[in-house]
C-alpha cells in the first residue's frame, strides 16, 4: 500500500515539475511586444473594414483595444475608437468606441498625461458626446503636457512603422 501511494505521489510531483518547466520556458517565447501586437491587429481590422467584413473588423478592433489597454497605450486606444466609429453606421458614438475612449481616459490619467486627456476630450467631442468637459476637468496641475501649442485635436496619426489611424 505504501509503495502504491509513493508511486502516485512521485508521478504527480514529476508531472507538476515538468508542467512548470514547460510553462517557464514557453511563456517568454509567446510574448511578442504588445505594442507591435495591437498595431498588427489594428491593421488587420482596417483591412477587414475596407473589404466589408464588418464582423472580422469588429473582432480585431476589440482584440487590439484589449491589447492596447493592457499596456496603457491611450494613443492606440483612441486610434482604435476612431476605427470603431468608422465601422458603425449609427448616429452618435458606438458603445464599443465609447468604452474604448473611457479606457483611454483611464490610461491617460494613470500616466498623468495632459495631452492624453485633451485628446480623449477631443475624441468625446468628435463623437458628439458631452463627456469632453469631464475629461478636461480631470487634468491635474502637475501633469505633463508635451504638445508645443497646448492644443490637442483627434487627427490622423502615423505610427513609427507607418500604420495610420483613421481621423475621427
Q: How many residues does the chain have?
A: 168
pLDDT grade, residue 13 (50/70/90)? confident
Q: Kindly give, in sequence order, each residue whose CB lies less than 8 Å from that of residue 99, ignoring residues fewer than 6 positions away.
A: none
The neighbouring-strand residues paired with 144 are 113
**Does 74 or 137 have the greater pLDDT score?**
74
CB contact burial 75-104 (16+ within 10 A = b; e otherwise) = bbbbbbbbbbbbbeeeeebbebbbbbbebb
Distance CA 38, CA 53 (A): 19
pLDDT of residue 145: 66
pLDDT of residue 111: 87
The neighbouring-strand residues paired with 98 are none
Is the pLDDT assigned to residue 135 strictly greater than 80? no
**Does 145 or 67 have the greater pLDDT score?**
67
pTM over 0.75, yes/no: no
CATH (one of 1.25.40, 3.40.720, 1.10.10, 1.20.1530) for 34-137: 1.25.40
Task: Provide the residue ranges of all domains of the chain, joining segments of one domain with +.
Answer: 1-31, 34-137
Amino acid at each position: 500500500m505504501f509503495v502504491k501511494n509513493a508511486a502516485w505521489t512521485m508521478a504527480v510531483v514529476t508531472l507538476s515539475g515538468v508542467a512548470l518547466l514547460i510553462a517557464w520556458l514557453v511563456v517568454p517565447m509567446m510574448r511578442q511586444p504588445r505594442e507591435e501586437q495591437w498595431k498588427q491587429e489594428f491593421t488587420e481590422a482596417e483591412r477587414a473594414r475596407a473589404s466589408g467584413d464588418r464582423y472580422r473588423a469588429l473582432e480585431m478592433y476589440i482584440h487590439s483595444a484589449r491589447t492596447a489597454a493592457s499596456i496603457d497605450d491611450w494613443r492606440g486606444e483612441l486610434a482604435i475608437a476612431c476605427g470603431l466609429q468608422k465601422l458603425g453606421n449609427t448616429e452618435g458614438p458606438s458603445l464599443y468606441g465609447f468604452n474604448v475612449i473611457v479606457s483611454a481616459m483611464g490610461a491617460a490619467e494613470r500616466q498623468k498625461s495632459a495631452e492624453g486627456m485633451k485628446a480623449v476630450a477631443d475624441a468625446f467631442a468628435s463623437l458628439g458626446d458631452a463627456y469632453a468637459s469631464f475629461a478636461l476637468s480631470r487634468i491635474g496641475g502637475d501633469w505633463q503636457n508635451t504638445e508645443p501649442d497646448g492644443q490637442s485635436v483627434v487627427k490622423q496619426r502615423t505610427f513609427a512603422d507607418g500604420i495610420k489611424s483613421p481621423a475621427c
